[in-house]
Structure 1
Amino acid sequence: MRKSIALLVLIFALFASPARAQQQFKVLVAAIPNKYHNDYAVVAQPQFERLARKHDFGLTWAWNTSAFDGDLSQYAAIVFLNTPGEELKGEQRQRLQAYVQAGGGVVAVHRALISSAGQWPWFERLIGRPFRIHPMVQTAVVQVEDRGFPATFGLPDRWLWTDEWYEFGPDLTPELRTVLQVDESTYDPTRIWPGQVAKGMGKFHPIAWYHAYDGGRVFVTALGHTPELYNDTHYLEHLYGGLYWAATGRGIVAETPPR
């Protein structure tokens, strides 16, 4: 009996190891706690691990920036999950730039979109649109703008969602391709804390987009403020669709004009 069990274990080890080595690609997720986003990662991490198992990709989870001291070329995509580029310092920034210039993919989620103007211009252009302000968390209707991009494949045309609705200034990078926008008629863009002013962006209010940048691929989504959102199936499909494209360059079914 013991010999049979040992044989089964050996067979499993022989066949399981190559299977793990044949994962589609590897992804680095930087999820560094910060002042306003320090509890999302305990919910997001197990969901990303489930996505990795479901879609057969390797996952490295980083709670600090030490991963950027090593070889980034092993990763098909790097996710800045509520983690701004300003967390990187010195040579870490140079490594990220070299990684993108070599064709690497980047996914920027929510807080990653906020940078101090002029602090790292290259990363600001990577994001593509400068953060301006956001009103209080509210429920609103999200509209799909580009049905041909993978980050929208699992979403309804109009999607009821509760989040911080970031506002943005003029584009920093040409040919940004918007995939989602929020309908400002479905929430109050002026509902904000005393002493602050938010006016909204009007009829065109982008909240997710993608573009080619400096040799690499970048997918950006402003969605993802509260921890509970990382348990939502639609949101996870949105994230993986953008991640899949950033990692592989595949999945777009029709070209759309930039907007």
Structure 2
Amino acid sequence: MRKSVLIGSFFLITTLLLAGQSFAQRGQFKALIFSKTQGFRHQSIPNAVKALKDMAKTRVFSVYATEDATVFNDEFLKDYDVIIMASTTGEILSDGQKEAFQRFVQNGKGVVGIHSATDTEYDWKWYTKLIGGQFMHHPAQQTARLNVVDRNHPATYHLNEKWLWTDEWYAFKNFNEEVHILLQLDETSYEPGSRDGKSMAMGEVHPMSWYHEYDGGRVFYTALGHVEAAYEDDDFLDHVYGGIWWAAMGYPIQ
């Protein structure tokens, strides 16, 4: 009898240890960092990948970083909760890979876009709606004022109503007006520049970060993150993590 109890206790402890080890390896959720480029390649991509890997350690989630598009298949993606498009550019996925990406989202998973994720797959209408818009142009890098128009999202809980930030300020076309805007650029606080004699400003509504639910999944995007120094800034990293956490976990926005 005593031997049976000891054996049972051993198996119970072993099971708990293995379960704990499995959680420690996987963490709260599993994120795929994808940073493939077929257009302009940002120098900040290595900084972004390193920062996200460091974030995974401190925030207790697991990551896998790659630029190999063949991972966009049902078998590989089924184990992931969120895909992070880290400054991707250009046409980076085949038709079959696009279909796997769509099924991933339709299965209730999350997508996060950082900076030039909007400079990606211009001819894929589904992706444009998903990510929220398409990069159009930008002026020289400079400091500007961001208005935090919605502080009720994990990506903006920590921010004040005004945020002074230095970056490459995107203007967008084909913007999905169904998204929920989090950050707006104050166009009176910087020089938007001109092209062909026309201002490159967007006007009163100039979104810089947003989120929405789309085709069964959850999507967060931030246009910030061009400069390498961004990935050492606590406010920016908390902004990104809040978006990742929401997209991966899907908890209701309060």
TM-score (norm 1): 0.83
Q: 1:228 to 1:37 in 2, by over 3 A?
A: farther
1:128 maps onto 2:107 in alignment: no
In structure 2, the partner of 1:176 is 179
Q: Give 5+ residue unaligned stretches, structure 1.
A: 1-10, 254-259
CA contact (8 A) 2:37 2:92 kept: no
CA distance in structure 2 between the aligned counterparts of 1:95 and 1:171, rounded to whole angstroms: 24
Partner of 1:39, secondary structure, is coil
Partner of 1:211, secondary structure, is strand
| Aligned positions, number | 237
> What are the Cα deviations for residues 226-252 of structure 1, in whole angstroms up to 9, with x where unaligned?
222111111100000001110011262
Deviates more, 1:178-187 or 1:244-253: 244-253
**Which residue of the other structure, out of 44, 55, 58, is the alignment partner of 2:59?**
55
- The amino acid across from 1:161 in the alignment is W
CA distance in structure 1 between the aligned counterparts of 2:40 and 2:174, rounded to whole angstroms: 25
1:252 maps onto 2:253 in alignment: yes
Q: Give 5+ residue unaligned stretches, structure 2.
A: 1-13
- Alpha-carbon RMSD: 2.2
- The amino acid across from 1:245 in the alignment is W
CA distance in structure 2 between the aligned counterparts of 1:113 and 1:176, rounded to whole angstroms: 14
> What are the Cα deviations for residues 133-177 of structure 1, in whole angstroms up to 9, with x where unaligned?
2111111011101110111112222111111111123533x5210
CA contact (8 A) 2:48 2:86 kept: no
CA contact (8 A) 1:25 1:75 kept: yes
**Which residue of the other structure, out of 85, 92, 95, is the alignment partner of 2:97?**
92
CA distance in structure 2 between the aligned counterparts of 1:28 and 1:248, rounded to whole angstroms: 14
Percent identity over paired residues: 38
Q: 1:196 to 1:227 in 2, by over 3 A?
A: farther
CA distance in structure 1 between the aligned counterparts of 2:228 and 2:37, rounded to whole angstroms: 12
Partner of 2:52, secondary structure, is helix
- The amino acid across from 1:56 in the alignment is V
Runs of 4+ off more than 6 Å: none
CA distance in structure 1 between the aligned counterparts of 2:197 and 2:76, rounded to whole angstroms: 43
